Structure 1
Amino acid sequence: MPTRDEKVAQIEAALRGRFFANVPKVVKAGREGWTEDQHDLDRLSRALAAYALVGRCEIDDTTAAGAITDGSDDGGIDALYFDRTGNRLVLVQSKFKRTGTAPAQEEVLKTINGVKALRARQFNNFNLAIRNRLDEIEEAFDTPGVRLEVLLVFLGDAIGPHATDDLNAYRDELNQFTQVMDWQATGLEPVFGWLIAEQAPAAVDDQITLENWSGITTPRKAFYGQISAAALAKLVEDNGKALFERNIRHYLGSVGVNTAIEKTVRTRPGDFFYLNNGITAVAETITPAAGTSQRCAFGFKKLSIVNGAQTAGAIFNATLAGNVSPDAKLLVTLIEIGNGADDIGLKITRARNHQNVVRGVDFAALDPNQERLRQELAAAGITYFYRPSAEARARREDAFTLEEAAVAMACLAFKVRSAAELLQHPRPINAVDFVVTAKKEIGRLWEQDGTLYGQLFPATLSGVRACRLVRIYRFIDRILADTERSENSYYRRMFFRHGRYFIMAFVALRSGDVMSKSQLEITAADETLLSQRTNELSELIYSATEPLQTLKGYLAIFRNLTDAQPLAASVLQRLAEDDARRLATQQLQGAPQGVQAADTEKRN
């Protein structure tokens, strides 16, 4: 799960990506001496006010940005919106402070006085942004039953007791005869909750028509029959990826057997039923209409295709080239699984897909932890593909896959352990074990029944950390790949080709200051440190491997724990000696004894 700082980082990334285009820097009287950092925080505070309206009133980002009133003479009201559906006038005061500082009592009093002035219709006291909203404000005040809702939004936990007392006193004053006003303090957790809730997959509540169908009722309801290919294509068109939420894969595109499915459904529609395995779908509830055994409509709540995503995707793709014949039909099995009280849905997905050729990584889609990571990253504008799909194959800066995350975690998330540490009971997690596995049997990293997957993707892993490590991994990998291409010596080329993961583990060991930051972005300063350390450590490790060159190749060394662990011990010894020499030099020169050339912060 994300830490507090990581939640702030995700919120900040979302505010920048979603609102900064409509929330420009404001330069006006009183702000002439502001630094760019001050202007940046001001934009973030105004963006947070807009997002509070998105989360509270369920309006779009553009409308919310247009409701910002922050500025001079705003009466402590940073955004204002008449929610006609909810019959309320929402008044927002926002404060974006990464430290979590809540609005102070004087700031809350300013907002209370601003609300009083609005209710007294003393509009000349306000800035142009508020005066431009007078029609909206007066409509709200003239509508019977409208409530005033004061929303304080910030990145802390709670406002202070004095500010709370002031708000309660004003609320009680207005609500003497009927409920007119309420207030709400919205801190970090609710704001982060809004972001995550937006990323939850949409439920598919739909219906399909089955022909020549039958069913059973015990031990649970299930129906099976024929569905037309055209009807299935329409279901895919209407619902998109949400239709495959319980599946282990999305549509992989026009590759391999999918191309054959497309061709068959177009050219041999009458044979399609006999040549295709059909699809399996589950739903929370299945409700048949009053049809006949020859033809009946079925309604669904939370429908998902758990086997047959490639068939469904290929049929939809085929319809893009023209209408599909009504003769094209396929078998569908529909199973009612209830509201998730047991794991029957997972069992059905796993069993039905084991009948096909699948990889171990495909079943990671059944891990709810992966969906949590996807939602966290989506909130910050990052796409995380934990289900194989055609889209996942394209390399993008703002996206990464489960496989890439697993390798990045294996190389960068764990500490290189000394021989003494490995003798402890219980034996601690060792980075060398992971980098050797990644080099030798990379598929074991995401093997669901293995011991490594749970260590790479624990429940404590946040989306921010996963993304940061992937970006660091990509950066170091580019450095090492470029170095390999530039080398003329055969031994050095092979060292940089096969020792890449091993080198990364030591860069991570010496770069706790960079690895541990709760930020998505890798700064230029971070890159400078990583580049310097990668080059220095590569040479140190290469020097340690030179005595082994005549004994075996680098591929064998780095994929064999028997060779890699002694090598790691040798490198650790050299680093300790270098640190000791550097410390002695600093002491002789009068440097502070606490200074170290590299950060060796301990990591799990």
Structure 2
Amino acid sequence: MAYPVQVRNLKRQLGDRFRPLIDMSDWHGRPDEEQAFLSRAVAALAVKLETACSDEDAARSVIDCATDRGIDAVAVEQRGERHHITLVQAKWSEKGEAGFGEADVSAVIRGLDYLLELKFDRFGSKIDRHAATLEEALNTPCKVVLVLALVTGTDLHPNTRGLLEEEIEKRNLDDDLVGYRVITLRDMYREILGERGERKVDLDVQIEGLGRYQEPFVSYYGTVSAEEVAGWYAEHGRHLTSRNIRDALDISDVNEKIRSTLVREPEVFWYLSNGITLICERARKHGKGAPMTGGAAGFRLEGASVINGAQTVSAIYRAVQQKPGKAALGRVLVRIISLDDAPEDFGDRITLAANTQNPTEARDFRSRRPEQSDLRYDFALSLGLTYVIRRGEPEPSEGAGCGMTEAALALAAAQPSVGFAVKAKRDASALWEDRYYRPLFGGPPSAHRVWRCVLLLRAVRKALDTLKENLTARPASAATHGDLLLAHVLFQTMETGDIDAEGKEAAAAWEARFREVPERVRKTLGWMVAVIDGAFGSKSHISTAVRSADRAEQVARRLYEHALGGQEPPSDTETLAYQGSGGGSRRRPPAVHLIVDAGLIDEGTVLEFRPAFSPERRHLPRWIEENPDRAKAVWRNNKAKPLVWSADGKAYAPSTLVRDMRTAAMGNTQQVQGTLHWHEPGGLSLAQLADIAREMERAAGDPDEID
């Protein structure tokens, strides 16, 4: 079925809103430029739907290019204690029949895998502006959502959906790291209509256990079925929140907890939910029942809007979709306020009040526990330091103390079971649940124990940050994701019998142990990559290994042995001497020599610079945006200086040019491997091309190696 009117209006709106904002310089003048623009605009609109950001930020999120690996846009935002990462795959269709098949699933999953392993060099350069933020988010408890934005009126084929869910499940194991959402033409059309003006929403509501206030303004309260609330969302979508300041259906992972409760325990949902508040222009009797206190009654709410509980509404809708029979049994408290006889600005006052109250979190309840107060006093009297327990209080400086959340993370890493570190990595807020909180703080721990655990975690993270400056690929991913696991391993393999001891002797002993942390982290990190590769394969996700209880336990057991033994980890294969075909060894020929001799790059090919290390991802993208020619160089088959930099027209060796760029952008004169940074149009780095040349040379020297 075609949707000509909807597609035509969507196309017009995409052009009006995003044409001035989306970068199309790489497609300029090509016959399919318009189709490429519309696909990118759909990706931007999907980001806006998922994150409620501005059009400008949505356009900036687009990374679509020839080597986007199935990911057309990326966005990162903080939602509560977790980062939320949106990855979009967009499909435009003039007929409203955009398809998404099993091959597309493979492409987008491959892109997901590259991002989870921090392999930003596998994407086009447009991802560089997001790389530092993505790396930071992936090193914290986070949720990754694959958004399929398809200009179509139909749902995914069951086979495609099944394959997608199967692939996602493989990457989640016992975690909920990855999820997905399908956005169709209907969702996009609602979004563009919403920009022009909100549609008036009239709701039919059936309330049980009715209560009401008559003065000074008419209002009702009672219980509504989850099935009915899901119907509101299905029919009206975002128009339900036209008066809500945040207009924020589905922008927080809080709704995952709401949905989970409704799916698993619908009978207790009423007790655990804060409920929903609606305002309306007028509430009148409609449907079954009379408006008697304590009874059941139906109302027609004219001009209705959800002003508090938007996440509850969307979570109920998704729970009923997931488990319709069970979730529909849930009930939710609803409050209805009629503005029929209220002053003109009263609706705005209610909306403002409902959306500016600070939510209470589980951590807040724990901060009132006596053991937390005792710790605060113990820190002050025993250590002369500050221990912050209330949210909103300023955190002390690094040497002046710590906060309750940092203490919980450090104590989790120090637990005998690695499961605590795994849980903290996945969702730090879970540490306030009884089953985790009691082992951490139930002792209660002494100030000396807490502070030494905090100092150990800080030392591990500082050592990893230092190492990460010069790491790429899997070692960089391990340094990014492995902080809590490595802190756990170090704590379990060091002398800790005096952790609660006071006095100068114990203090000196711990200072000596902290000085050993950088070297121990270096060795253990090297073994961590080798252990994970050996147990789960070199293509497995390191992020999964530290977030999955079963895998992390296997890794930790092996790391205990290596940490206790103190052996040097295996060397990176990139630093090994090149093994010649004659059985002897000699220094590896320079990468540029191999590439030139093999003729792998045509004279005049334009190469692209890609940041390879964390500090470069933080500093160079903005510097390059000031002058895009800084990221381009023309190849010439010269073994000494093969790169003619487009920014100044001079010839350079790859490493010299990268060093000069780092000096200009960062003030860092350290020499790095330049061949990791420059990429040919197909996406391969000079280092990767050199590896191909070596394989060609080996095969040519030994005919038996040729199949």
**TM-score, shorter chain, exceeding 0.5:** no
TM-score (norm 2): 0.28
Give TM-score scaled by structure 1 length: 0.33
